[in-house]
Structure 1
Amino acid sequence: MVLDTAFCPTVVVLGAGRGSRFYGPLRSPRQLDDGDMLEASLRVAVASGLPVLAVTREALAARACTQLAARDVVVVPDVLLPDGRDGTPGLSECISAGVSARPGSSGWVVLPADMPLVLPSTLVAVAQALRVHAVAYAQHAGRRGHPVGFGAELYSELVLLPDDSAARRLVARYPSCGVDVDDPGTQMDVESLRDAASLQPPPGPRAFAPAPPAW
């Protein structure tokens, strides 16, 4: 697919917050602490040819900078609440931080950093769907997946998301477009790059796509 340089939504790779999802967590929420996996997801994003921004923690900022310029890395602080609970930013806070850093973008394609099996072409397909849709998401074998894209018209709502449920409500509120892709990676989050390697399809023509994990 040929990119239109006049319409280039930003890929926002989320590598800072708890492991929540627009459609519910695949596993128990967790904080990304795998620099190798963050780098792998950033390489996928960069390979798309779209502008890329990483939202990550201080501990992983240097790893993000191996793939991106420092100006394209947004660091969100780790927080420990007074009662001892983990105050790590959630999905909505990380999205807001990324969108706020690129207010003039044509849109934003949100990719969780623990999904390094998504294809670069999938990111481009979701980005291009934002030409005519406020919300678009990758869809493989009839199942919703990631990334999820938001059009520029949603900027004011994205930067003010108060909590993770608000991000999900935003997806539900606007008519959205499922972009069909031959990409089982849209369904797969992984604990480590070792997991990712075990889930990679064998080289050559693929007769059957691997079954995605249950949501």
Structure 2
Amino acid sequence: MSRISAAACTAVLLAAGKGTRFDAEGRQQKLLAFLPSGNRVAAQSASLYCSIFARVIAVVRPEQQELIALFAQAGCEIVLCAGAEHGMGHSLAAGVAAAADSASVMIALADMPFVQQATLQLLAQAAQGESCVVQPVFQKQGGHPVRFPAALYPQLMALEGDQGAKALLRSFPLLQVPVTDAGVVQDIDFPADLQAAGSQNDNSKFP
């Protein structure tokens, strides 16, 4: 399987959140938790995206040394975002700025490791060359990852605090792609999600 070129689409893996819903006391980083397959959440997500995209950028906080090493080993470029503690907007802006030479960016969440390869291929290739946002939809529910065209980079790079990109989905042409992949709506917020999600969508083939 040939990978999506960096010029066409770069994957930006957001991994700088604190995951307080997973462990309010901050003792356990959810991205380092083990899935039923034996893979760490972050490792499985990184390997998945690196198998499809020639360029994958992981956005992390500077102090996340174990995550940095894990993503680097998987083949990701690392972007350190010191302002990530102020909200996802900072992480998203930093990742897009690093990928500004690509025609589009696939914004992905590192705590969603069950998206399937075929889904990523479909989203990366849908409406190529057109200036629209591409989002997967599973059973009428919008999911992730979401592909943004270069025309929206200025707005994305201007995000800060808790601002996400949802407003752009309402104000810019949006192509919603129906998929049968439950992984696009399965994130890991709580310890129980490690088991629940894995029982439906298993990417254990990724190291």
For this structure pair, what is the TM-score category when the shorter chain's length is used for normalisation? 0.7 to 0.9
User: For residues 130 and 163 of structure 1, what CA distance do their matches in structure 2 show?
Assistant: 31
User: For residues 184 and 98 of structure 2, what CA distance do their matches in structure 1 show?
Assistant: 25
User: For residues 91 and 58 of structure 2, what CA distance do their matches in structure 1 show?
Assistant: 10
Task: Structure 1: give runs of 5+ residues left out of the alignment.
Answer: 20-26, 80-86, 204-215
Task: Structure 2: give runs of 5+ residues left out of the alignment.
Answer: 33-39, 203-207
Per the TM alignment, residue 191 of structure 1 is displaced from its structure 2 partner at its CA by: 4.2
User: For residues 180 and 113 of structure 1, what CA distance do their matches in structure 2 show?
Assistant: 22
What is the RMSD computed on CA atoms of the aligned residues? 3.1
Flag the 1:160–1:184 CA change in 2: closer, same or farther, 3 A: same
Match of 1:139, SS state, is: strand
Flag the 1:166–1:65 CA change in 2: closer, same or farther, 3 A: closer
TM-score (norm 1): 0.74
Match of 1:54, SS state, is: strand
Q: Give the alignment partner of residue 163 of structure 2, picking from 162, 165, 172.
A: 165
Number of residue-to-residue matches in the alignment: 187
User: For residues 102 and 9 of structure 2, what CA distance do their matches in structure 1 show?
Assistant: 6
Query: In structure 2, what is the equivalent of residue 66 of structure 1?
Result: 73
Per the TM alignment, residue 130 of structure 1 is displaced from its structure 2 partner at its CA by: 5.0
Match of 1:8, SS state, is: coil
Per the TM alignment, residue 133 of structure 1 is displaced from its structure 2 partner at its CA by: 4.1
User: For residues 33 and 194 of structure 1, what CA distance do their matches in structure 2 show?
Assistant: 11
User: For residues 104 and 23 of structure 2, what CA distance do their matches in structure 1 show?
Assistant: 27
- List per-residue Cα deviations over 1:175-194 (Å, max 9, x = no partner): 21111122000110014788
Per the TM alignment, residue 57 of structure 1 is displaced from its structure 2 partner at its CA by: 2.1
Match of 2:93, SS state, is: helix
Amino acid at match of 2:59: V
Query: In structure 2, what is the equivalent of residue 111 of structure 1?
Result: 108
Amino acid at match of 2:117: P
Q: Percent identity?
A: 29
